[in-house]
């Protein structure tokens, strides 16, 4: 049975494909504040993985931020002032450890969730503790499934978020050479797998020893690319259609056969 066709909603989004200032939280916060103010009509702004603190793995413990600290509180105040939901990456003080996290802040300034990267890539495993949850968070009245970079190379996180009722997938990345083709394919596949639109925002620039590739995009629920950015810094506004439903026979969530797959795989909501 295919999903029912519901009323479509156009969500106004901004993709902030930027190069963070290495190890300069104040400069990155200032830039975020400026850009949010310049895009006051946006309902949702998405910044890259570790945008506030940078991708210097050897410095994350010195740069890590507390969710209740001044920097994150300023982002929450900004979201409330401009009535704009914000997703931004940062190294998070998490108990006595550090997590690679996304702050998911709604337009009223409430922190509706913190997503901690569950699939750590390469040397990240030496510096971060992996998350143990895949939360769906509400932002701008939409149920959002957040992911970070390497997460999208696995089908399971996005599928779990979809089965938990996500209406939109959002991925913040710090994807570097030579892996841009992997993410071009994975970002489209995760949208098509789950018949959900997917916002993918990657950083740009160089931070030793990595060259980051940009190429952020918006992917429609049928896997087609609606907006594609290049390799340089770019801040792009667009609209994403949410909850249009589908009448296609390939509405995959409603044709799952968990009796064949084993494990704890569930069926579609409802």
Q: What is the pLDDT along the chain (270 residues), one digit of tens a residue?
A: 344 455 789 999 999 999 999 999 999 999 999 999 999 999 999 999 999 999 999 999 999 999 999 999 999 999 999 999 999 999 999 999 999 999 999 999 999 999 999 999 999 999 999 999 999 999 999 999 999 999 999 999 999 999 999 999 999 999 999 999 999 999 999 999 999 999 999 999 999 899 999 999 999 999 999 999 999 999 999 999 997 655 555 788 888 888 898 766 666 665
List residues bridging with 201 in a β-sheet.
172
Q: What is the pLDDT of residue 266?
A: 65
Give the pLDDT score at 263: 64
Pairing of strands 198-202, 225-228: unpaired
Residue 245, pLDDT score: 59
149: left (phi over 0), alpha (psi -120 to 50) or beta: left
Q: Which residues pair with 98 in a beta bridge?
A: 93
Q: What pLDDT, on the 0 to 100 scale, is given for residue 4?
A: 44
Active site residue 207: no
Q: Single out the catalytic residue among 43, 49, 92, 153.
A: 49
The answer to whether 196 and 11 are in contact (CB under 8 A) is: no
Q: What is the largest CA-CA distance in the chain?
A: 52
13 pairs with which residues across the strands? 44, 238
- Identified catalytic residue from 43, 104, 124, 149: 149
Task: Return the bridge partners of 16, or none.
Answer: 235
* pLDDT computed for residue 2 by the predictor: 40
pLDDT of residue 8: 85
CA distance 18 to 79: 19
Catalytic residue among 43, 104, 117, 153: 117
* Nearest in space to 212 (alpha carbons), one of 48, 35, 29, 46: 48
pLDDT score of 200: 99
49 assigned to active site: yes
Q: How many residues does the chain have?
A: 270
Q: Tell how far CA 2 is from the center of its chain.
A: 27
Superfamily of domain 9-261: Carbon-nitrogen hydrolase (3.60.110.10)
Asked about 264 being catalytic, the answer comes back as no
Residue 156 tokens, joined: 């399971």
- Reference 134, options 111, 152, 154, 117; nearest CA is 117
Sign of the CA dihedral with 235 first, then 149, 221, and 10 last: negative
Q: Model pTM?
A: 0.94
Predicted confidence at residue 158, as pLDDT, reads 98
């Amino acid at each position: 049975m295919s999903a029912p066709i519901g009323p479509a909603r156009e969500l106004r989004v901004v993709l902030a494909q930027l190069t963070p200032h290495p190890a300069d939280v104040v400069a990155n916060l200032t830039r975020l504040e400026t850009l949010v103010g310049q895009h006051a009509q946006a309902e949702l702004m998405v910044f890259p993985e570790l945008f506030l603190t940078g991708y210097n793995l050897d410095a994350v413990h010195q740069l890590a931020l507390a969710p209740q600290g001044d920097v994150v509180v300023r982002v929450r105040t900004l979201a409330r002032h401009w009535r704009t939901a914000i997703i931004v990456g940062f190294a998070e003080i998490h108990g006595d450890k550090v997590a690679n996290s996304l702050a998911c802040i709604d337009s009223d300034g409430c922190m509706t969730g913190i997503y901690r990267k569950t699939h750590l890539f390469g040397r990240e495993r030496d510096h971060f503790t992996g998350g143990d949850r895949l939360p769906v968070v509400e932002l701008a009245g939409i149920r959002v499934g957040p992911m970070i970079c390497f997460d999208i190379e696995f089908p399971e996180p996005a599928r779990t978020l979809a089965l938990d009722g996500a209406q939109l997938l959002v991925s913040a990345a710090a994807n570097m050479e030579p892996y841009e083709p992997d993410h071009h394919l994975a970002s489209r596949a995760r949208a098509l797998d789950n018949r959900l639109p997917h916002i993918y925002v990657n950083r740009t620039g160089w931070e030793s020893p990595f060259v980051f590739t940009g190429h952020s995009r918006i992917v429609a629920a049928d896997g087609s690319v609606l907006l594609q950015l290049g390799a340089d810094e770019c801040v792009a506004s667009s609209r994403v259609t949410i909850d249009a439903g589908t009448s296609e026979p390939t509405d995959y969530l409603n044709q799952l056969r968990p009796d064949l797959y084993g494990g704890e795989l569930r069926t579609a909501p409802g």
